[in-house]
Each structure stands twice: as C-alpha cells, then as structure tokens.
Amino acid sequence: MSAGLSGDTAAGLPITAVERETGLSKDTLRVWEKRYGFPRPLRDTRGDRRYPAAQVQQLQLISRLLDAGHRPGKIVGLEPDALQALMVQREPSPTAFLSTTKVEEPGHRPELAAMLDSIGAHDPQALRHALSHAQLRMGLASFVTEVVAPLTTAVGDAWARGRFEVFEEHLFTEVITGVLRTAIGSLAPLPVPLGPKVLLTTLPQEVHGLGLLMVEALLALEGCTCVSLGTQTPSGNVVQAAQAHRADVVVLSFSNVHNGAVVQASLRELRSRLPAETALWVGGSCTALYQRPLDGVTAVPHHLSGLQSQVALWRRTH
C-alpha cells in the first residue's frame, strides 16, 4: 500500500466517485486490490481510500475491456500502454442487447465521422442537429441500429485512444439520450394499446443506461408500453414498481463489469419475488446470462430480430 496522503485536500477521488466514474463496484475495487495488487489507493488522514487520477483512467480502460469480454485476471494491473493496445486490437463490441453487422470505421461513414468531429469541437448543437436529422430521415429502428449503436462504439474507442476526455463522452451520452427520448415521445399512440407492458431498468452497480434506452425505443416501435426507471434500481424497488405499474415484463441490462455468480444470484432472488405471471427478460454483454440460463428468466439474444421475436412470442401466448 502506498504511503498516506498529507491532508484531506490531497489529490485523489474517493471510492464512491471511482465507482461512479468507472461503473466498477466498491466491492470489486476492494477485491482487486487484495487479489491483484491493483488499484493501489492512497489514504487520507481519516484512513479512507483515495484513488489518483491515473489509476481512475486505468480502471476506466479495464472496465471497457471487461465489457468487450476480457477476464479480470488477464487485464487488471496491466500498464496503460498494454491496455490501450488491447483496446485498439479488439473488435467493436455490441451495446447492450444490440448487435449489428461489423461496424465500419468512422472514416468510411462520413455522417459518423462528422458527428465525432462535433463532439471533439464541443458543439452539442451541431451533434444534436445531425442526430435528429438522421433519425427523421432513416426512421427510428434504422437510426438506433445503424447510427446510435456504431456511434456509441466509436465514441468509446475514441476515448480509449485518447481522442476524447470523459466529459466529452458524457456530452455525447446526454445529447443522444435527449434525441432518443424526443423520438420515443413523438411516436403516435396506438388506437388500442398492445402488450406487453414493459418495465426497464438495471440493478445497483450497473450505471450503463444508453443500451437500455435503445431497447426502449425498439420496444416502443413494436407497440409495447414502456416504463423506464433509469439505472441502479434496488431489487425490492423493481418488484414494487412492477406491481404498481402492472408490468407484464421486466427488462434488465447487465454489462460485463459484474461477476457472473453475483448476477445469477441477483436474478434468482428477483425471480422469486416477482409474480409468476411477470416475465423477466435480461440482456447485455454479461456472458453469464447466456452460459447458465435460469428457470423463469429469458436471455434475449444480442440482435433486433431476437427482441422482435420475443415480443411476438409473448403476444401469441397471452
């Protein structure tokens, strides 16, 4: 362990802030510290952990590589240059629930390259205009799969290569969230609402919500009634919300930052508390969802047709 910091104002983020910035839980950070010797937090005068900025950036890289399917034991503690090299080598990873054909490099997609330039130029108005125009021109489904998903991957890769800072990535997330919310809100309501009524959220420690928003857009296009709780909803509150909204389906998203055994245990506990008639659909980049299926839990494949088929199956059986 490194020597303690002198004074409470010494540089370094507290563990709560690191959890928020990286998506890695406090428990995960503590376990890695003991098991792998990384991260190596300093200590303030109260003995609380303080994480230097360089280590937080390293943890952000590790979090992205976990999302891409790497195992913690292979990457935790690697030097930043080695992590960057892995980021460059990796194939573009699907955003939660979604997988399209292989994403072209932004340079081969002029509209995506222009959007990336707008982010780098700190011009949210230009980015919002380009995204809104693409959505109107392409329609919502194609916009989600052909623009939002590959652009999200490109922004993540640009951050990993040092082109973007975290605040620029956050800017992109805020703009695209606004555009998608506006598009969803503009959909004309059906004369007769179709089922299922879907509650969407993530469990605590899962801070990634953009993929879930894409799923909401696609479900809305299928005529589903969607209720979004955002991210990080405690399990008990998910049950309460499902009952209060009379949800037919609860949809959860998991990225690969989670331990597979913990995800399985959380789903078993949630499944046992939800009414038997409430379906539980899960998806995302957490491989445990697909390797060890649970009774009463449906793992939705990483592609649009799988989501459409699941909605169609629910309607046939209800």
Per-residue pLDDT 10s for the chain (318 aa) are: 333 343 343 468 999 888 888 888 888 999 999 999 999 999 988 889 999 988 988 998 888 788 766 888 889 988 888 888 787 665 444 444 544 334 445 555 788 999 999 999 999 999 999 999 999 999 999 999 889 988 988 887 787 677 888 789 889 999 999 999 999 999 887 777 788 999 999 998 787 788 889 999 999 999 999 999 999 899 999 999 999 999 999 999 887 666 778 888 999 999 999 999 999 999 887 778 887 778 999 988 655 557 888 899 999 998
Within the chain, all domains assigned CATH 1.10.1240.10 are found at 106-185
Nearest residue to 139 via CA among 104, 186, 102, 106: 186
What's the whole-model pTM score?
Answer: 0.71
pLDDT of residue 165: 83
CA dist 228 and 38 (Å) reads 36
C-alpha pair distances (Å), 144 with each of 147, 198, 211 = 6, 19, 10
pLDDT of residue 256: 67
Within the chain, all domains assigned CATH 1.10.1660.10 are found at 15-89
Number of Cα atoms under 13 Å in the Cβ half of residue 36: 18
pLDDT of residue 6: 37
Give the CATH number of domain 106-185. 1.10.1240.10
Give the CATH number of domain 197-317. 3.40.50.280
Q: Calculate the CA 130 to chain-centre distance.
A: 23
DSSP strands (E only) in 92-215: 197-201
Q: Which fold has domain 15-89?
A: Multidrug-efflux Transporter Regulator; Chain: A; Domain 2 (1.10.1660)
pLDDT of residue 225: 93
Return the SS3 of 263.
Answer: helix
pLDDT of residue 205: 75
Which residue type does 118 have? S
CA dist 294 and 226 (Å) reads 24
What b/e string do you get for 288-314 counting C-beta neighbours within 10 Å, with b at 16 or more?
bbeeeebeebbbbebbbebbeebbeeb
- For 238, other C-beta atoms within 10 Å of its C-beta total 22
Within the chain, all domains assigned CATH 3.40.50.280 are found at 197-317
- For 34, other C-beta atoms within 10 Å of its C-beta total 7
Nearest residue to 8 via CA among 54, 55, 43: 43
CA dist 141 and 218 (Å) reads 6
